[in-house]
Structure 1
């Protein structure tokens, strides 16, 4: 039960519940209510919110973690997932960067793979809400890094939410590199609404939108719609993307490029 001398607010409680579900794979409502010193109805509401965000799935008497949530919670897991495909896509993406440009990067590990290759292309200005990109490029010769502030989310290692989105709207970039959780029926889907806020703001303020899609994105599903693929100027996929998928994209007038190397 929660310590009466140290009250836990709603957001903190939900974060603790989220982590417990991810760590154990399953939690009981009555157990959570006892641990946090709240009613079962309060826990039900917490689980409803976390389920809507895609972190878990409510079941009778409790909740279980979702495969997508487990995959994306760990930055290390995200970086190793389809790492070769992301590297290939990032190398191909560099042809869309020219010295002197303002380059925007979202909080995806696909964009981080691009960031790893930007140090030799300066001078550049890099705009991002992703802390690993700020840490990687900050102080590099020829690169100016502008970090988008906001609510820091350790599960994404990024600054998200309304404040980050508002700051993004004050920026103007020449090219944006971003990714998404899943692609279903020609639309980008994402698990987090907070992330979508910032991504949409970056999309609104760039001259060129480049979407980075390794083949695994076509095998997943997510809750929230981000944008149709046709909203992007370039969609880069890796060579392991099925030919039928690439053909479907082209038939739908999606401006797709295949990273071969």
Structure 2
């Protein structure tokens, strides 16, 4: 265990005898980082890497699972999504960051002052927060606890937080109470992202998430899907909507050209993020000339 360093920078041997809890926290942080880096690991491999017993490993993992950071099944611990389980928000934040930022920037062309907008709990939609102050006044409606905290304090932005049951793995409210609140509202636009697109159908691993986002979908006049290239061909269990049901699908430049061509052949309005930003920049330059 001497290779593990807690937040203080000290090795376990350098910590005082009463710092067992500090060593435990440091070890759990290192386990989380290791699994997120690999995507998934055998629990036996974790015991060898960190010099801990199988019982200690399971105790640590049970705590991390309860916080929604990792998933554990059949001797395997995972941070990456499967067809049945969505990844934690902590893991999702670290993936395709540049692509998500480009997609979020492109999405802002569909935001106008005075609108009421649903924002889902996705990490791609979260990237839109940095741009919203330039589009106020706005009314933002969200079930994401993280997004609520980020939006709180933006001047001239009215924040409507959707309550209900909080799910730790995504830091979002879902379920019947949340859906009932959504059904009483009508918004101009919905921005959302989903983890899987197969055969031009959007899927999610969580049925509660599907129902909650579908309520937003049905309560918004315009529906915009934000999807980086990794979502195409990925599988999940529960169908949400056909791509043709969306008004706009925004993708990044790494998206396979075959996917883009197929969607456009079906009449889907596909926006390629980086190209959209280049057109906006070119337009701004022409205005200056």
TM-score normalized by structure 2?
0.68
Per the TM alignment, residue 72 of structure 1 is displaced from its structure 2 partner at its CA by 4.7
Classify the secondary structure of the residue corresponding to 2:163: coil
Per the TM alignment, residue 116 of structure 1 is displaced from its structure 2 partner at its CA by 2.6
Structure number with greater Rg is 2
1:68 correspondence with 2:105: no
Tell me, in whole angstroms, the C-alpha distance in 2 between the residues paired with 1:148 and 1:119. Answer: 21
Task: Give structure 2 stretches of 5+ with no counterpart.
Answer: 1-31, 45-53, 59-70, 278-289
Tell me, in whole angstroms, the C-alpha distance in 1 between the residues paired with 2:197 and 2:107. Answer: 19
Match of 1:188 among 192, 202, 208: 202
Match of 1:166 among 177, 180, 183: 180
**Which digits, 9 at most, give the CA deviation of each residue in 1:32-89, with x for residues without a partner?**
9xx9xxxxxxxxxxxxxxxxxxx676xxxx4645641599533232112111111111
Q: Residue in 1 aligned with 2:235?
A: 221
Q: Residue in 1 aligned with 2:137?
A: 123
Tell me, in whole angstroms, the C-alpha distance in 2 between the residues paired with 1:191 and 1:26. Answer: 23
Per the TM alignment, residue 110 of structure 1 is displaced from its structure 2 partner at its CA by 1.1
User: Could you say if the C-alpha distance between residues 65 and 223 of structure 1 is closer, same or farther in structure 2, counting changes exceeding 3 Å?
Assistant: farther
User: Could you say if the C-alpha distance between residues 242 and 24 of structure 1 is closer, same or farther in structure 2, counting changes exceeding 3 Å?
Assistant: closer
1:155 correspondence with 2:206: no
Per the TM alignment, residue 254 of structure 1 is displaced from its structure 2 partner at its CA by 1.9
Classify the secondary structure of the residue corresponding to 2:131: coil
The 10-residue stretch of structure 1 (84-93 or 69-78) with the greater mean CA deviation from structure 2: 69-78
Per the TM alignment, residue 200 of structure 1 is displaced from its structure 2 partner at its CA by 0.3
Classify the secondary structure of the residue corresponding to 1:208: strand
Per the TM alignment, residue 26 of structure 1 is displaced from its structure 2 partner at its CA by 5.5
Per the TM alignment, residue 251 of structure 1 is displaced from its structure 2 partner at its CA by 1.6
Task: Give structure 1 stretches of 5+ with no counterpart.
Answer: 1-18, 36-54
Match of 2:147 among 124, 129, 133: 133
Q: Map 1:19-58 to 2 at 5 A.
A: 25=42
1:253 correspondence with 2:270: no
1:82 correspondence with 2:96: yes
Q: Residue in 2 aligned with 1:144?
A: 158
Check whether the contact 2:136–2:156 (CA below 8 A) recurs between aligned residues: yes
